[in-house]
Structure 1
Amino acid sequence: MRVLSHGVRAGRRFAPALGLASAMVLATQLAVVAPVAAALPGLTQVTSTGPSNSDWKTWQASCPTDSFLVAGGGRINGGGGQVVMDTMVPVFGGTDLYSVTGREDDSPGFTGDWSITATALCARPPDGWEHAESATGWDSNSSKTLTVSCPLGKRLLGVGVEVNGGLGQVVVDDLRPSADLSNVTITGIEDGTGYAAQWQLQGEVICVTAPAGLARVTGFGVFDSTPVKSAVASCPAGQRVHGVGGEIDSGAGQVRMTGIDLLSDTQVRVTAAEDEDGLASNWAPRAYAICA
């Protein structure tokens, strides 16, 4: 596992380009939401929506100058359950940002247009800021699980996942912060048609010295066979969201998380949809809000 402290952040990862070079100049909606109250000083939510088209794509939300990324999330707008959100990662360099990639599944794909919304949670330099990452090996196993832990004494705010390989045929099933916020468990599962080649699962955490009242709150969706559903986790009164997470219970690789992001500054929403073949059995989404 690699650990990076706030004093030497630069140079770990740089955001991939969009599928089309011109996409950065297409229609974009950008919103910066000022916090109501936060345990971290200067906590700010930045949300950006990229172009709507039928290409696989990456989109980012960038932190204001001189602030640190502490967490992030994303969602697919459109896609009909046929777009896999296979990368949601922090990016550090001259400007901190949170990057989200979506890919259509292998067959039949999605004939309509879709877009990505990325969200970054940023703050003035938090006490004890560190970034850690780990990865599985490369193989063709149908599922992989990885746990990434914070350095001793730190607690996580931000989480990230990247499926290397997979090409839209590997579903991120779990992005689950532990109850004590010392680690995150990440699971990737091949979809219903499988994936013959090798692939790798990479996970990341952003950790800090725990701010006041830091805790994980869970919201459960309905466990049934409804093809599209959501779950919401709400912070206790007087607290706000400092990080997000989500998972699918019993999705068997045939349910895609289409959103893991902020519904408001006090709520996290996880949305999910069955693939084009559907899933006959029951399943449910879970949302995790990291609150302080």
Structure 2
Amino acid sequence: MRKLIAWLGTVLMTLAVLAGTARAAPVSVQAVTTVHVKAVSDIDSVSPKGKTADCPAGMVAVGGGFTTATGVGNDGSVVQDELIIRDTSVTGTAYEDANGTSKNWGITVFAVCANPLPGYEIKKGRSVNSGSEFEKPAVATCSPGKVVIGGGFEVTGGLGEVVVDELLPSSNQVFTKAFEGKAGTSRSWHIDAYAICAFQPAGWQIVDKVGPIFSGGKTTTAKCPVGKKVLGPMFDLTGSLGQAHMLSLLPHDFPDQEVSIAALEDDDGTTNSWGLNNWQICAN
């Protein structure tokens, strides 16, 4: 009888361990290989402009970037409307704002591509309101057991009169938010957040760098720790309330653990003191 009880105890303990293991989120030990691909639009005074950067065969998109400083025309009159991450590509679109510009301008779109990661998925979340409210947030959430590796956003109906203010990660969610620009709009619009998710890669880490707060254009550069590379570049504007917008979100090729971001005030400026913060997802 004692042997039977001992055997049953061993079985129950084994089952408990197995059950706990089944609930745990897998952690990949596979190193992540990344490449950066870019696509450049025409440079002229036509609005809007869109471009798609495609990943090499066999790779997936884990993050994206953009710059509206292509050409010389963005003096605060061009706003990035979307950075949509799909399985194997990144699409960016920019519009002139309500005042427009006669200058020549263009956009460059970047895709951060990686070897397929276990559990890779893209989740989408939409703002609750879709009228002409001044401010709208949206959040996308990964499936249970997965972490954020990148993110994107998409404004529908803004047509240059809505400014994306943030693209922020947490461990399993991506938050984005947009404001109507200085002139407001009577249009109905909404914003979507995109979360790029996977089982946690080796060395996964969220890095952020807080920038200075003052009135005027600004840039910040942040790096992943030594030995890690950027998967998903992100950003956060604070205090600008629709009167400043992103000029660029640039993942650098060499070294590939660095991201530079820049933001401008709109074309008539603002006296608001505002900040620009640099966020990125890193992994081995």
TM-score by length of 2: 0.84
Q: What is the aligned partner in structure 2 of residue 169 from structure 1?
A: 161
Q: What is the aligned partner in structure 2 of residue 237 from structure 1?
A: 226
| 2:114 maps to 1:113 | no
Alignment partner of 1:74 out of 43, 62, 66: 66
Alpha-carbon contact 2:33-2:115 (below 8 Å) kept: yes
Letter of the structure 2 residue corresponding to residue 86 of structure 1: D
Structure 1 residue runs of 4+, over 3 Å off? 38-42
Take 1:243 and 1:221, find their aligned partners in 2: how far apart are those partners? 19
| 2:86 maps to 1:91 | yes
Alpha-carbon contact 1:50-1:115 (below 8 Å) kept: yes
Q: What is the aligned partner in structure 1 of residue 243 from structure 2?
A: 254
Q: Identify the structure with the greater helix proportion.
A: 2
Q: What is the aligned partner in structure 1 of residue 175 from structure 2?
A: 185
Structure 1 residue 220: Cα displacement: 2.1
Q: What is the aligned partner in structure 2 of residue 34 from structure 1?
A: none
Take 1:266 and 1:67, find their aligned partners in 2: how far apart are those partners? 19
Structure 1 residue 243: Cα displacement: 0.9
Take 2:204 and 2:86, find their aligned partners in 1: how far apart are those partners? 24
Structure 1 residue 263: Cα displacement: 3.4
Which deviations, in whole Å up to 9, do the C-alpha atoms of 1:36-78 show, x marking residues without a partner? xx96443211122222111121011110112111111111114
Q: Which runs of 5+ in 2 are unaligned?
A: 1-28
| 2:51 maps to 1:59 | yes
Alignment partner of 1:135 out of 126, 136, 156: 126
Structure 1 residue 281: Cα displacement: 2.1
Take 2:261 and 2:115, find their aligned partners in 1: how far apart are those partners? 27
Q: What is the aligned partner in structure 2 of residue 224 from structure 1?
A: 214
Alpha-carbon contact 1:53-1:115 (below 8 Å) kept: yes
Letter of the structure 1 residue corresponding to residue 40 of structure 2: T
Alpha-carbon contact 1:73-1:118 (below 8 Å) kept: yes
Alpha-carbon contact 1:220-1:232 (below 8 Å) kept: no
Q: Secondary structure at the match of 1:201?
A: strand
Alpha-carbon contact 1:267-1:289 (below 8 Å) kept: no
Take 1:105 and 1:205, find their aligned partners in 2: how far apart are those partners? 27
Q: Which runs of 5+ in 1 are unaligned?
A: 1-37
| 2:196 maps to 1:206 | yes
Structure 1 residue 130: Cα displacement: 1.0
Letter of the structure 2 residue corresponding to residue 202 of structure 1: D
Take 1:50 and 1:281, find their aligned partners in 2: how far apart are those partners? 32
Take 2:159 and 2:202, find their aligned partners in 1: how far apart are those partners? 41
Take 2:146 and 2:90, find their aligned partners in 1: how far apart are those partners? 21
Take 2:195 and 2:65, find their aligned partners in 1: how far apart are those partners? 13
Q: What is the aligned partner in structure 1 of residue 260 from structure 2?
A: 269
Q: What is the aligned partner in structure 1 of residue 273 from structure 2?
A: 282
Letter of the structure 1 residue corresponding to residue 79 of structure 2: V
Take 1:252 and 1:41, find their aligned partners in 2: how far apart are those partners? 37
Structure 1 residue 197: Cα displacement: 1.6
Alpha-carbon contact 1:40-1:126 (below 8 Å) kept: no
May I ask how many residue pairs the two structures share in their alignment? Answer: 248
Structure 1 residue 87: Cα displacement: 0.6
Instruction: Give the alignment's Cα RMSD to 1 decimal.
Output: 1.5
Letter of the structure 2 residue corresponding to residue 203 of structure 1: A
Return the index of the structure with the highest Cα Rg: 2
Alpha-carbon contact 2:86-2:122 (below 8 Å) kept: no
Take 1:177 and 1:209, find their aligned partners in 2: how far apart are those partners? 15
TM-score by length of 1: 0.81
